[in-house]
């Protein structure tokens, strides 16, 4: 298996970004981690208040595009 990895630094704390998912009936999840983890083969691992490691076998393009469009991101490392 060949996984892609991103280290994302968000411009706000991850727990604040969870407010985006304020309607679980619409999103089917309550947190950013749950949203990312729902993509098959994709995992979200927070490493501090504003940073997370995301790994994905084949969904990274879609996950990254959604995050860039919807979340305040300070930096992305590949």
pLDDT band at 76 (very low <50, low <70, confident <90, very high): very high
So what's the pLDDT on residue 26? 87
Q: Do the beta carbons of residue 52 and residue 45 sit within 8 Å?
A: yes
Backbone angles phi, psi at 49, to 5 degrees: -60, -35
Q: Do the beta carbons of residue 55 and residue 43 sit within 8 Å?
A: yes
So what's the pLDDT on residue 24? 81
Rounded Cα gap, residues 44 and 52, in angstroms: 7
Q: What would you report as the CA-atom Rg of the chain, rounded to the nearest whole angstrom?
A: 12
Beta strands in the chain (DSSP E): 4-10, 42-46, 51-56, 73-77
So what's the pLDDT on residue 32? 96
Show the domains of the chain with their CATH numbers: 4-77 (3.30.70.260)
Tens-place pLDDT, residues 2-20: 899 999 999 999 999 999 9
Tens-place pLDDT, residues 29-69: 999 999 999 999 999 999 999 999 999 999 999 999 999 99
């Amino acid at each position: 298996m060949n996984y892609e990895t991103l280290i994302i630094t968000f411009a706000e704390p991850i727990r604040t970004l969870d407010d985006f998912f304020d309607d679980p009936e619409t999103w089917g999840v309550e947190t950013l981690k749950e949203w990312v983890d729902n993509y098959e083969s994709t995992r979200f691992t927070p490493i501090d208040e504003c940073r997370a490691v995301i790994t994905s076998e084949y969904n990274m393009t879609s996950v990254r595009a959604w995050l860039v469009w919807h979340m305040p991101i300070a930096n992305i490392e590949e």
